[in-house]
Chain A
């Protein structure tokens, strides 16, 4: 941090904490907290007896057991796969490390529900716990792999050399030197997997594995808006908040800084020798299962459906609708992220932290809950908005605000108030400073945030299913209705377009590995 950015009494005169900025940030936080507030209000309204009756049921116990064992199993599998793969790619002599890195991140380009479709359409017997575990692990392990690979890269090899100099074996170096330093990345990645899994709907519905999200959806379809669905959502939200709390505590003890200054030497990779072939085989199987199978399956269904089902104009229209929605959502969400991201850096303090945190908390609510809450609220409070595009855009904003805030925030951090001061001392007026200094410095961050939101919206399924106006289909919902009708051939082209559109995001992520998909 540069010295000049010390908070000062006169920030109000500059672009710092103007009342307008604060008011905008408060409005954004309020929107983000809407679904959470709705669930809370509903539960309070229902009363303790009503809640107990709906929650303390064998059915909820079953769902809880299903959800917990799937989350636990997936987290363990992802941690093992992610850690092994990250070590091989970053620290071993395995050939083709760069290519492996890209291939290990690439599964993120295939949305989990597409991956699930690819597997079940080939192997209908996968609708079991083991099947669900396999499919979601293959979809989510990059969430652990990415931060771990980045951490491995950030480790100072001098520490490992020192440990080796003290007589530790390669294995002992890993256990006693590397693993403790990777703890935060490993736990953070695991929490990310758990949060995503709690919110996962499409993949599990496709695999007919009942968890909270699928049960909420079924309840919603059956009774439209029963208290049952809302209470299930309440339990799910509680689980998410628990994980989020763990995440916030973990973030407080973020990592170990390298004590020395200067560039670290590149590490000397561990020679695998006879283990090279088995290690290559292992990575090949992992990439094969997580990438080749879904892509192969998609290819197969496209080929099968090519002669009969492909409706080119429908595909074009749907793609157009999706891109349009995504573009508007990206612009809106990024604009909404600006006040919060700005305040978080330029007016540090309790209010700013509270506003930023409440956006994150609000956005940790699964898409199915956001959808449910907005459907109910729009019917009750603003019937004229029910099933309209603005509500859908609000849902996108609630779900994806953190991606935009994180990027905007880091951009503001890279443009300290010092630049504003210097520009002022050179005679530039406030609008001049905004145009010549602040905006050019923020532009890349704002662009990256908008791109992340855009790509997230392109593959959003759950909230879109609940909230899209009648007649509006996106790639995800068109894919969903075709594959739900077991018309795999008709579904495939939509999936292909989604994968192609997601690919650039994956490239971005594999480059800038320290930035996760969520804050």
Chain B
């Protein structure tokens, strides 16, 4: 397994720039999620790494070997040793499961049932599936076979292009787990393209956030969630409560009262980010100067619930509570903030609407 290093990569289709100088390093044996909204260039980046397209400038290196953009002509896809798992599996319809998995193996090994069996077991599939045709498999099984096929020739790197987006929720969880396990067992270096932030945060060792063809942030999932680069990233990777605030001496005065803040800003107007799970609710009347809010709606998910609140000044915020004790719609509740807020400059562009979790 090798690392992947992408340096100053650009690509345009016609007059439309799709990638504008992307730098990315994926350490060997780790999984990096490329996260971004559709149209941000993540699939293009994947295709350039795989060798299906050529970059306009910049380089791609697998391990120490420059495969694109170097002084020599780009290494063709078939000599890169980069496995590829396309969106809907892309299994060859005219071959059986065994035929698909064995496609990239040398001729002698294709007939070796043991090798196919080992790969099926690696992705957690029943060995009896080997003789089936792709159309006889469920969507999740197809994805796993596609992964086994990509892993079969022992590639230096595996690329997965939104492999779970066509699966329904239950199957997606199960397939994700199986894929994670298989990638770890194979010790593979992997790049996973996704627009699903939960998928990126839960599966990846590091997350690369791509926006308008540029890499905005590259870090581990926890840092990404807790210290996003800007409000845009913040709202993209999770639900957010964003409030206007006045900073002074490590605290912010905002619609939720005075809240401790982190971040480089020290004073003046700003906007602060809180996560809904930081908003705690209690019965009103306990403390002087408490912030009262009216409960607008309660969305109950079972394991937890999301409460829409209206603050006295009319600001709408959301709180996330565990599902045990929930206020009634229309009730008045006291709101307190747990932990600290993250401050961003007041003028930092527009904020996208708060994303709704699946």
Contact with A along B74-106 (1 / 0, CB 8 A): 001111111110111010111000000001100
Docked-complex contact B94 and A425, CB < 8 angstroms: no
User: Number of contact residues on A: which range applies?
Assistant: 20 to 34
Is A10 an interface residue, CB under 8 A from the partner? Answer: yes
Give chain B nearest CB distance to A128 CB in angstroms: 54
Q: What is the 8 Å Cβ interface bit string for chain B, positions 54-65, against chain A (1 contact, 0 not)?
A: 100000000000
Q: Mark B161-202, 1 if CB is under 8 A from A, else 0.
A: 110000000000000000000000000000000000000000
CA distance A156 to B149 in the complex (A): 38
Distance to closest chain B CB from A11 (angstroms): 9
B233 at interface, CB cutoff 8 A: no
B164 to chain A, nearest CB (A): 14
Residue of B nearest to A425 (CB): B84
Interface size on B, residues (CB 8 A): 32
In the complex with contacts A2-B88, A421-B84, A427-B93 CB distance below 8 A: no
Q: Which of A8, A426, A428 contacts B52 (CB 8 A)?
A: A8
The yes or no answer to B13 lying at the interface (CB within 8 A) is yes
Partner of B77, one of A414, A421, A440: A421
Q: Which residue of B lies closest to A440 (CB)?
A: B94
Docked CA distance A426–B147 (Å): 12
Specify which of B53, B78, B80 lies most central, judged by the most chain A CB atoms within 10 Å of its CB.
B78
The closest CB in chain A to the CB of B155 belongs to: A425
Q: Which residue of B lies closest to A426 (CB)?
A: B104
Residue B221 CB within 8 A of the other chain: no
Known contacts being A8-B47, A10-B53, is A429 close to B90, with CB within 8 Å? no
A-contact 0/1 string along B34-68, CB 8 Å cutoff: 00000000010001001111100000000000000
Interface: A422 (CB within 8 A): yes
User: CB-CB < 8 A to A4: which residues of B?
Assistant: 47, 52, 86-87, 90, 161
Which chain A positions have C-beta within 8 A of B104? 426-428
Contacts of A13 in B (CB 8 A): 76
Is B150 close to A, CB under 8 A? yes
Q: Assess whether B78 is in contact with A429, with CB atoms less than 8 Å apart.
A: yes
- Whether A437 is near chain B, meaning CB under 8 Å from some CB there, is yes
A3 close to B (CB within 8 Å): yes
Contact: B93 with A3, CB < 8 Å?
no
Cβ–Cβ contact B153 & A427, under 8 A: yes
The listed residue (A9, A10, A419, A436) touching B90 by CB distance below 8 A is: A419
Q: A441–B90 Cα gap in the complex (Å)?
A: 13
CA distance A440 to B81 in the complex (A): 25
The residue in B51, B52, B54, B81 that gathers the most chain A C-beta atoms within 10 A of its C-beta is: B52
A418 located at the interface, meaning its Cβ lies under 8 Å from any Cβ of chain B in the complex? yes
- Residue-wise interface mask of A (414-439) relative to B, using a CB-CB cutoff of 8 A (1 in contact, 0 not): 10001101111111110000001100
Cβ-defined contact, A2 with B78, below 8 A:
no
Contact of B80 among A423, A425, A429, A437 (CB under 8 A): A425
Give the distance in Å from the alpha carbon of A424 to the alpha carbon of B93 in the complex.
16
Are B103 and A423 in touch, CB under 8 angstroms?
yes
Given contacts A3-B43, A425-B77, A427-B78, contact A418 B54 (CB under 8 A): no
> Smallest CB-CB separation from A428: which chain B residue?
B78
Could you tell me if A424 and B78 are in contact, using CB atoms closer than 8 angstroms?
yes
Across the interface, do A425 and B53 meet the contact criterion of CB distance under 8 Å? no
A419 touches B51 (CB 8 A): no
A2 to B80, CA, bound (A): 23
B309 to chain A, nearest CB (A): 36
Closest residue on chain A to residue B146 by CB atoms: A422
Instruction: List the B side residues contacting A422 at CB < 8 Å.
Output: 84, 86, 90, 92, 149
Residues of B near A436 (CB, < 8 A) are 103
In the assembled complex, the CB of B338 is this many whole angstroms from the nearest CB of chain A, namely 42
**What chain A residues lie within 8 Å of B77 (beta carbons)?**
421, 424-425
B51 contacts A9, C-beta separation under 8 Å: no
Would you call A425 and B161 a contact (CB within 8 A)?
no
**Would you give the 0/1 interface string for B287-327, flagging 1 where the beta carbon is closer than 8 Å to chain A?**
00000000000000000000000000000000000000000
Q: Which of B1-36 contact A (CB under 8 A)?
A: 13
Supposing A9-B13, A424-B78, A428-B78 touch, asked if A3 and B54 sit within 8 A by C-beta, the answer is: no
Q: Which residues of A contact B103 (CB under 8 A)?
A: 423, 426, 428, 436
Q: Cβ of B94: which chain A residues have Cβ within 8 Å of it? A: 440-441
Which residues of chain A have C-beta atoms less than 8 A from B93's C-beta? 414, 441
CA A155 – CA B246 in complex, angstroms? 61
Name the A residues within 8 Å of B162 (CB-CB): 3
Mark out the residues of chain A between 393 and 424 whose CB falls within 8 Å of any chain B CB in the assembled complex.
Answer: 414, 418-419, 421-424
In order of increasing CB-CB distance, the 4 nearest A-B pairs are A426-B104, A424-B77, A425-B84, A440-B94
A interface residues with partner B (beta carbon < 8 Å): 2-4, 8-10, 13, 414, 418-419, 421-429, 436-437, 440-441
| Chain A to chain B contacts (Cβ below 8 Å), 25 pairs | A3-B162, A4-B47, A4-B52, A4-B86, A8-B47, A9-B13, A10-B52, A418-B90, A419-B92, A421-B50, A422-B84, A423-B92, A423-B103, A424-B76, A425-B77, A426-B83, A426-B104, A426-B149, A426-B152, A427-B79, A427-B104, A427-B153, A428-B78, A440-B94, A441-B93
Q: Measuring CB to CB, which residues of chain B are less than 8 angstroms from any residue of chain A?
A: 13, 43, 47, 50-54, 76-84, 86-88, 90, 92-94, 103-104, 149-150, 152-153, 161-162
17 extra A-B contacts, CB within 8 A, seeds A8-B47, A426-B152: A3-B87, A4-B86, A4-B90, A4-B161, A13-B76, A414-B93, A418-B90, A421-B86, A422-B86, A424-B51, A425-B51, A425-B78, A426-B83, A426-B103, A427-B153, A429-B78, A441-B92
